[in-house]
Chain A
Amino acid sequence: MSDSNAGNQTPRTPRSVTENDNVVEGTPVQQQALGRTPAAAASVGRERRHRDGGGRTPRSRSRSVSRSMDLSGFPLTPVNNNGTSAGTNPVLSGRSPGGTPSGLLNTPMRSDMGHNHSGQRASPILFRRRPRGERDATTPGSVYTPVNNRIGGMAANNSQSNSLLRTPSVSSGSLQREEQGLLMEDPETTFVWGTNVNVAEAQSRFRRFLAHFQGARARPAVRTYMSGQQQQGDTNSLDSMDLGVEADLEGPKYPSLILDTIRRGESSIDLDCLDLHSYDEELYSQLISYPQEIVPLFDIVMNEVAAGLVQQDEGMRQQYSGANATDEAGNLAFRLQVRTFNLREVKTMRGLDPTDVDHLVSVKGMVTHVSSILPDLKQACFKCSVCGHTPEPVYIDRGNIQEPQKCQVCNSLNSMILLHNRCLFSNKQQVKMQETPDTVPEGETPSTMATYVFDDHVDAIKPGDRVTVTGIFRALPVRIASRQRNLRSVFKTYIDVIHVEKDDPNDTASFLQSKISREAAGTVSEADEDDTVVKYTEQEEQAFKEIAQSPDIYARLVKSLAPSIWELDDVKRGILCQLFSGTRKGLQTGERLRSEVNVLLCGDPGTSKSQLMSYVHKLSPRGIYTSGRGSSSVGLTAYVARDPETRELVLESGALVLSDLGVCCIDEFDKMSDDARNALHEAMEQQTVSLAKAGIICTLNARTSVLASANPAGSRYNPGQSVVENLRLPSTLLSRFDLIFLILDKPDLASDRQLARHLVSLHNPAGEQDTRTNDDIISLDMLRSYILYAQQMCKPKISDDAAEALVNYYVEMRRMGTSAAGSKVITSTPRQLESLVRLSEALAKMKLSKTVEVADVDEAARLVKVALQQSATDPRTGTIDMDLIQTGVSSSLRQMRYKLEQDIRGVLSKASGRTMSSSVLLQDLKETLQSQAPSVNELWEVLQQMSDSGRLNIRGDQLALA
């Protein structure tokens, strides 16, 4: 995008070649249009300015521009397209902020069509006869009149290049001219060379499609992510597009899309090929089979239609022609390119075969390498170094530029010099892709594929991106030597890319970029947050519903989750709840209630915690797996870095932000540095990550569920201590986990026997298979999409009964504490109630049920109890004590300490001088309290506490009450 604004005559000013210091990469379109004349862009060479003199005024240039527009224009538009009239209005004022100058030359440069391959086709002429409209649009004879030769030379160039680059007959610039005589035939009888595709028919079919196709909703433009510079603009445009579509939902899809595109000053229109397929299957198959021919036809039609639409639209006409006094070229202030995407079949690289050559293909892959920008010479301008004569520009012919041997004016031989800044270049970039890991069969290496992207796709993708590219699959014969005609029988294959889609929600770069841009633009609202709304076909929905309707769905899901892991069913249930998560609720005050379920697994080494986590990581749509040992706080949240190239500050997101709307698995939670763990506090309850650093202050969403696993502090769980003591994790963090599961390696006869049988059967290939039948197990892929579907489609509401049940459970749990230990023990907190709600909702979601039933609440409460019993049981009293989790100190311990303090006070106050050494105190206490005497440690803790609070003075060994 950035590149092509350099001006009319040198739309492509590659960095390496241009001398034109006016070229500013990435300047917004408007600025270009207003601030720079084509002349400025082109007339840099000193000698040329001198020579060209007055002829090169903006005036004449503008005329040339306008002509070029006419030439490439649209005969069907009602407006004057007889634009050969010279001396018309300057382009300067005429160009509206729509960014015409760039659009003009930019769009017709269909670089992706530009590479003819001389493959095995004997002739590069692809149109046997050319339709009248086509001819008008491309190479009118007037271009070659002597008058235009110098002054209007550029016009000729433009028009020529337009035709060259837009039509497939690129390769044969010279041939076209020779052919002109033949072009007068009726388009009705014109066929694409070598096929039965009738040009006129294809055009009219496409016109019909554009006019009549009823689109439900335009897909959001993926380009949002593609250009960092235009984030803001794109964000707006996205909105406007959405608005536009919503405004006339009933109407045809494309007219509004076209108008919006023009309004935004963009030059490409994404054509959803599924739309085309549903409307006109034959045209679709023609497009797939002959993209090289059909896509340029689409371009022509698209521009015709667009011109017509602009004329109909009052505001647009004003905008695009009003400023132009003569209205000479008002309808042509834009130039659209059709970008086809969303083919019915997205192939893997492995799936391509020779039958796909020259077809339109969609290929999914991961970008591994992006080359530097290659200036692709489209048209060369030479100058005689002897007399200064500049002959007509030369066009690409089968990849070669024919340098004039002899100067026509002075007849000197080999005197021609290439004038770089008057040549026409386009942007090109080689992008190497590699298969994504999921498409590589086990034990094989990923295939790679070279692709070439053009114009505004250049620099839009980066290594590491997962993309789906749509383009023309080409095979280029490999020669033994480039000048020899002798061909090896081998081909080099590549794809000329027409459309790029970054399609992976896991794709960190684009995901983050879109996220930041949206958040920066303040357009975030709860409604549009699920940016990756997947559409499901009826079949899929049916399949999901079937799964949901099976009576034992819950059990099946549990079985299907990590089937290789033995037992741990309750843990799996908890993790399922986490995967399905609660319903997201926004309060009217703007606050959000957390819907994500956080789970902590704590247990002995070797109890397959990590296996379970890596499974969850695979299952979750945006799962991130990190190990606590290596994580830093910035690695978890977000950090500001300086881009090594641009020196700009950029925001890099960490694991928590990246796993927004997913599950963030943190292994070795206990080994994490305190610093890193502290970073979790905010994320786990507020579901955001705040950052104030180096001039960037922002809050990023981190609506992530945390699945953490920890080993007990002493590597093995000590049953004599509480969880908190075993874990040595701050209780503030522990209380943020909805479920804390203890996975203990306890011998148990029945389960051991089962385990043994399972293992023996594994080792016994001849023996009977595992008792569990495989039919019951939902495959990983299915499970993943089922979870996604449930998360998206299912927002269960809590029924009245369930609400009451929730309340009852909560009250009961709170009461349970008090009744068991007599007083002051709290078993449940409001946080627990929230957990209960979330878990019940998740359980309802598993069944795709619309309401949360009492049964769900029952199960949720059971899960909470199981987890509580394991983790919040005070080993001293055997009762559940939420204080353990909340404060790290059980209330029984607190009571015990209180009592001890009273005793100490008693002893001390009786002592002589109210002082006493600690050893004597201990002795005393032992005598008075007998069996209930405290241990040295306990005593010391209490003494320390008293001293801290100023109730006790410790001087050396002497203790005295304050």
Chain B
Amino acid sequence: MTGSGLDQRVGNPVGFVRERFQEACGGTGGNTSSNPQHQHQHQHQHPPPPQSFIPGVREAFLPYLLDPSRKEEVPCLNDTSSEDITHLPDGSLVRYIGMVRDMLNPEYFTGAYRKDGAWQTTKYQDFAKDDLSEASETVMWERKPLFCVAVTGEAAWVRPGAEAAKHQLEEMEVFSSDRKRSAPDQEEGVREDGDDDAMMECDPAGQAKRRVGGKGGCCAAGESCCGTQQQQQQQQPSDDSMMEVDLGTKVNQNEGEKPCLVKIYETADESGAPAPGLEGVKLNDVVEVIGVLGVDPRLALFQSGQFQEGEEVTQEDLANNPPASQVPRVHVIVGRKVQCYQHLMEEKFARNPVALALRQDKAKLEAARAKAVDLVARHLQGDRLAAEYLLIHLLSSCRRDAGANTGIVVGKHALNLTGSHLSGKECAALEALLRSLVPRCQSLPLSLQKLNAWPLWPRKDYRVSRLVGGPLLLADQTHLLLDETQLKEGQLAQVGVQNFQALKNLMENQTLEADFQFYRLPIPCNVPITVVSTTKSLLPCDTCVQIKPQHQQEAAAAGSPSEADLNEIRAYLAHCWLLDYAIPEEVSSVLQQDFVQQRQKDPRSVGAEHFHRTLTLSRLLAQSHGEGTLTVETYKKFCHMEDLRKAAQS
């Protein structure tokens, strides 16, 4: 099982799985397939495999997920630097990291069948090796497809095979450029098919022979095409809301990266315990999976069965079965959820000397902190106070109270940077800065036109039975930068108002409501928000900091930071973010005392909200100094910061 098996796992994972399967099936009959005669005798006694779980498979592939050195052996679908990745054959073992954008209905498939007396499995494959109609017995299994896309707003430096920061500009363009021109993505792909080759989808008799283009999507012409169907196809692209379908994914699409249909198999192992790694995957979660690549061109030839002609292929079917050239399948053998900073630490800084030094040496950490404040301040016209606030804001993260009943979000923070001089230009610079520091960052210009143009919240498109992701559907720890400087007076349309509500809800409760037509479901998020505006923001930000330009420092802004410095700051942020945190009893009593006193003085402005904020920011300040516990000094320091901030505001 070892030795030669190792190669086989990467080279021919399906074959490996089949062998395990046959071992498991033939197990009762003594030896395995090597003894056909023996098996023949027993074939009628062999019961069908009781469950889809195949012993030994998970264990065999786990090292490729967890062991960094073994990981290298598996090609990564996200690796855009390598051209080979687009030419991987069907059935290769691949690695993929993506954000769950939609969860499709479970898929039932013929998991195992008996042919010529022996049980075969189709697990981890799109197609059976044999003609299933010849199988004498079949077993139905279930798998769950997740529609994944590349992590939204992931900074270039985090990506595998990162090509430095030159991506940054492109991405910004993608984001702000008009939708027609942005990068192709899979939804577009589905539609383009309809657009360009109206007949491609199907012909009513289902006899169209379709070729699948290697790259540019599948296209072909059926010999005959029913008129009505053709009409349908032609009408559909002009449909306005269909455009929205594009938009949602497009906005969240990074250039050059493919979406992927990730198919999860058993949710429980032999004993019925939930399979570790991917249990309870939610929307927005980032998953890392090792599995079998499915790019069989036949996947595009989707035709549903024998029902009745005329209702054969629906939009839904097409959307859920896009051509493999655009949306490859990954049949997951092992997988896990990816936590943003934990993963970053593991991947980038685990053996990085700078990161190690930070962990051990308080002075080094303080030095890194100073560098970070310097760097941030340079982008904020030298305002060091604002820089401090922004820096600690970068560390913010919320958590939901454990009590099932309460659902209170603790630790959320939204920062508002104001300054009369701010404009889109400063905003873009700030975004570039954030992008170079934090692993995930997304910006969103809030102009009237854009707010009114399309919904920001995710909603389900029932024609294709797919969730159309609004741009606000972001992975955890994606810093959302809202550019309010572009907002002018004018009329907000219905959509605009709802967009504002969605933003407000995201800010206050860290939830995003997905619209499922008859009801809305809240999706929990963890997205720190920074609003840049010329005056106090419309949105309910927790902290508002006014930037006071310090002219003498502006000259320093010229030089861009070195990659080494950036790396140090990144490592510093990741380290601080991951710190555990506690409030000791004695500090707690000081805090309480202080709160009560302040409230006596000023009952109007000092309340629960205020105290929440104080506690949150004190924590962030402590963490930014690499401290895992709150001290009275840190608290006092924070109070001092607050005084300065208030003074600056008036």
Residues of A that sit less than 8 Å from B by CB: 118, 120, 122, 353-354, 357, 366, 368-369, 374, 376, 398-400, 430, 432, 434, 437, 440-449, 463-464, 475-483, 485-493, 563-564, 566, 606, 716, 745-747, 749, 752-753, 755-757, 759-760, 762-767, 770, 774, 777, 779-780
Expressed in whole angstroms, the Cα–Cα distance for A765 and B399 within the complex equals 10
* Contact of B133 with A by CB under 8 A: yes
- Residue in contact with A762 in the complex, picked from B281, B301, B401, B514, CB distance below 8 Å: B401
Interface residues in B117-166 (C-beta closer than 8 Å to A): 122, 125-128, 131-133, 135-142
Expressed in whole angstroms, the Cα–Cα distance for A753 and B608 within the complex equals 11
- Residue in contact with A374 in the complex, picked from B283, B311, B406, CB distance below 8 Å: B311
Is A759 touching B205 in the complex (CB atoms < 8 A)? no
- Which residues from chain A contact B460 at a C-beta distance below 8 Å? 445
Chain A CB count within 10 A is highest, among B128, B132, B135, B401, for B132
**Closest CB-CB distance, A16 to chain B, in whole Å?**
11
What are 30 A-B interface contacts by the 8 Å CB criterion? A354-B140, A354-B141, A368-B518, A398-B306, A399-B308, A400-B306, A442-B282, A442-B524, A443-B283, A445-B467, A446-B516, A448-B105, A479-B304, A481-B206, A489-B132, A491-B140, A564-B406, A606-B607, A747-B599, A753-B592, A753-B595, A759-B611, A760-B591, A760-B615, A762-B410, A763-B583, A764-B583, A766-B582, A779-B405, A780-B405
Interface residues in B441-468 (C-beta closer than 8 Å to A): 460, 462, 465, 467
Expressed in whole angstroms, the Cα–Cα distance for A491 and B301 within the complex equals 15
Is B109 touching A490 in the complex (CB atoms < 8 A)? yes
Expressed in whole angstroms, the Cα–Cα distance for A752 and B401 within the complex equals 21
Is B132 touching A487 in the complex (CB atoms < 8 A)? yes
- Residue in contact with A354 in the complex, picked from B131, B142, B465, B514, CB distance below 8 Å: B142
Expressed in whole angstroms, the Cα–Cα distance for A150 and B106 within the complex equals 50
Interface residues in B258-317 (C-beta closer than 8 Å to A): 280-285, 298, 301-309, 311-312
Is A492 touching B305 in the complex (CB atoms < 8 A)? yes
* Contact of B68 with A by CB under 8 A: no
- Which residues from chain B contact A120 at a C-beta distance below 8 Å? 110, 135, 137-138, 140
- A368-B518, A444-B281, A487-B131 known, 10 other contacts, Cβ within 8 Å: A120-B138, A446-B516, A475-B140, A482-B305, A486-B133, A492-B304, A564-B406, A747-B600, A760-B591, A765-B399
Is A756 touching B131 in the complex (CB atoms < 8 A)? no
Expressed in whole angstroms, the Cα–Cα distance for A369 and B314 within the complex equals 14
Is B581 touching A765 in the complex (CB atoms < 8 A)? yes
Is A476 touching B608 in the complex (CB atoms < 8 A)? no
Is B108 touching A475 in the complex (CB atoms < 8 A)? yes
**B303-344, CB under 8 A of A: which get 1 and which 0?**
111111101100000000000000000000000000000000
- Residue in contact with B133 in the complex, picked from A485, A564, A606, CB distance below 8 Å: A485
- Which residues from chain B contact A564 at a C-beta distance below 8 Å? 401, 403, 405-408
Expressed in whole angstroms, the Cα–Cα distance for A46 and B303 within the complex equals 40
* Contact of B580 with A by CB under 8 A: yes
Is B609 touching A763 in the complex (CB atoms < 8 A)? no
- Residue in contact with B303 in the complex, picked from A368, A449, A478, A749, CB distance below 8 Å: A478
- Which residues from chain B contact A760 at a C-beta distance below 8 Å? 583, 588, 591-592, 615
**B61-85, CB under 8 A of A: which get 1 and which 0?**
0000000000000000000000000
Expressed in whole angstroms, the Cα–Cα distance for A745 and B602 within the complex equals 11
A-B contact count (CB 8 A): 218
Instruction: Select from chain B the residue with minimum beta-carbon distance to A399.
Output: B306
* Contact of B596 with A by CB under 8 A: yes
Q: What 5 pairs between A and B have smallest CB-CB spacing?
A: A443-B282, A766-B582, A564-B406, A482-B206, A756-B592
Is B615 touching A766 in the complex (CB atoms < 8 A)? no
- Which residues from chain B contact A764 at a C-beta distance below 8 Å? 581-583, 588
Expressed in whole angstroms, the Cα–Cα distance for A468 and B207 within the complex equals 38
Expressed in whole angstroms, the Cα–Cα distance for A442 and B281 within the complex equals 10
**Closest CB-CB distance, A252 to chain B, in whole Å?**
40
Is A443 touching B524 in the complex (CB atoms < 8 A)? yes
Expressed in whole angstroms, the Cα–Cα distance for A399 and B307 within the complex equals 6
Is A482 touching B133 in the complex (CB atoms < 8 A)? no
- Which residues from chain A contact B609 at a C-beta distance below 8 Å? 606
Is A444 touching B283 in the complex (CB atoms < 8 A)? yes
- Which residues from chain A contact B514 at a C-beta distance below 8 Å? 445
- Residue in contact with A353 in the complex, picked from B102, B142, B305, B611, CB distance below 8 Å: B142
Expressed in whole angstroms, the Cα–Cα distance for A624 and B131 within the complex equals 56
**Closest CB-CB distance, A380 to chain B, in whole Å?**
13
Is A563 touching B109 in the complex (CB atoms < 8 A)? no
- Which residues from chain B contact A779 at a C-beta distance below 8 Å? 404-405
- Which residues from chain A contact B125 at a C-beta distance below 8 Å? 489
Residues of B that sit less than 8 Å from A by CB: 102-103, 105-111, 122, 125-128, 131-133, 135-142, 205-207, 280-285, 298, 301-309, 311-312, 399, 401, 403-408, 410-411, 460, 462, 465, 467, 514, 516-519, 521-524, 580-583, 585, 588, 591-592, 595-596, 599-600, 603-604, 607-609, 611-612, 615-616, 619
- Which residues from chain B contact A749 at a C-beta distance below 8 Å? 596, 600
Expressed in whole angstroms, the Cα–Cα distance for A487 and B138 within the complex equals 13
- Which residues from chain A contact B462 at a C-beta distance below 8 Å? 368-369, 432
Is B283 touching A445 in the complex (CB atoms < 8 A)? yes
> Given A443-B523, A444-B103, is A757 in contact with B140 using a C-beta cutoff of 8 Å?
no
Is B108 touching A777 in the complex (CB atoms < 8 A)? no
Is A445 touching B600 in the complex (CB atoms < 8 A)? no
Expressed in whole angstroms, the Cα–Cα distance for A444 and B133 within the complex equals 36
Chain B CB count within 10 A is highest, among A374, A398, A490, A765, for A490
- Which residues from chain B contact A444 at a C-beta distance below 8 Å? 103, 281-283
Chain A CB count within 10 A is highest, among B138, B407, B517, B608, for B608
Is B138 touching A490 in the complex (CB atoms < 8 A)? no
> Given A399-B308, A760-B615, is A445 in contact with B108 using a C-beta cutoff of 8 Å?
no
Instruction: Select from chain B the residue with minimum beta-carbon distance to A447.
Output: B105
- Which residues from chain A contact B522 at a C-beta distance below 8 Å? 442
Is A479 touching B306 in the complex (CB atoms < 8 A)? yes
**Closest CB-CB distance, A194 to chain B, in whole Å?**
12
Instruction: Select from chain A the residue with minimum beta-carbon distance to B522.
Output: A442
- Which residues from chain A contact B136 at a C-beta distance below 8 Å? 122
- Residue in contact with B305 in the complex, picked from A464, A479, A716, CB distance below 8 Å: A479
- Which residues from chain A contact B284 at a C-beta distance below 8 Å? 443
Is B305 touching A477 in the complex (CB atoms < 8 A)? yes
- Which residues from chain A contact B583 at a C-beta distance below 8 Å? 760, 763-764, 766-767
Is B140 touching A488 in the complex (CB atoms < 8 A)? no
Is B603 touching A746 in the complex (CB atoms < 8 A)? yes
Is A755 touching B588 in the complex (CB atoms < 8 A)? no
- Which residues from chain A contact B608 at a C-beta distance below 8 Å? 566, 755, 759
Expressed in whole angstroms, the Cα–Cα distance for A485 and B585 within the complex equals 73
Expressed in whole angstroms, the Cα–Cα distance for A443 and B516 within the complex equals 13
- Which residues from chain B contact A398 at a C-beta distance below 8 Å? 306
Expressed in whole angstroms, the Cα–Cα distance for A483 and B410 within the complex equals 59
Is A482 touching B108 in the complex (CB atoms < 8 A)? no
> Given A368-B462, A481-B301, A747-B599, is A493 in contact with B207 using a C-beta cutoff of 8 Å?
no
Instruction: Select from chain B the residue with minimum beta-carbon distance to A436.
Output: B519
- Which residues from chain A contact B604 at a C-beta distance below 8 Å? 716, 745
- Residue in contact with B280 in the complex, picked from A434, A441, A449, A463, CB distance below 8 Å: A441
**Closest CB-CB distance, B567 to chain A, in whole Å?**
30
- Residue in contact with A563 in the complex, picked from B103, B403, B523, B592, CB distance below 8 Å: B403
Expressed in whole angstroms, the Cα–Cα distance for A477 and B305 within the complex equals 6
Is A767 touching B595 in the complex (CB atoms < 8 A)? no
- Residue in contact with A752 in the complex, picked from B301, B521, B596, CB distance below 8 Å: B596
- Residue in contact with B517 in the complex, picked from A368, A491, A745, A756, CB distance below 8 Å: A368
Instruction: Select from chain A the residue with minimum beta-carbon distance to B465.
Output: A448
Expressed in whole angstroms, the Cα–Cα distance for A698 and B301 within the complex equals 58
Expressed in whole angstroms, the Cα–Cα distance for A430 and B316 within the complex equals 14
- Residue in contact with B410 in the complex, picked from A477, A488, A763, CB distance below 8 Å: A763
Is A774 touching B306 in the complex (CB atoms < 8 A)? no
Is B607 touching A366 in the complex (CB atoms < 8 A)? no
**Closest CB-CB distance, B221 to chain A, in whole Å?**
15
Chain A CB count within 10 A is highest, among B106, B140, B403, B615, for B140
Chain B CB count within 10 A is highest, among A440, A449, A747, for A747
Is B306 touching A447 in the complex (CB atoms < 8 A)? no
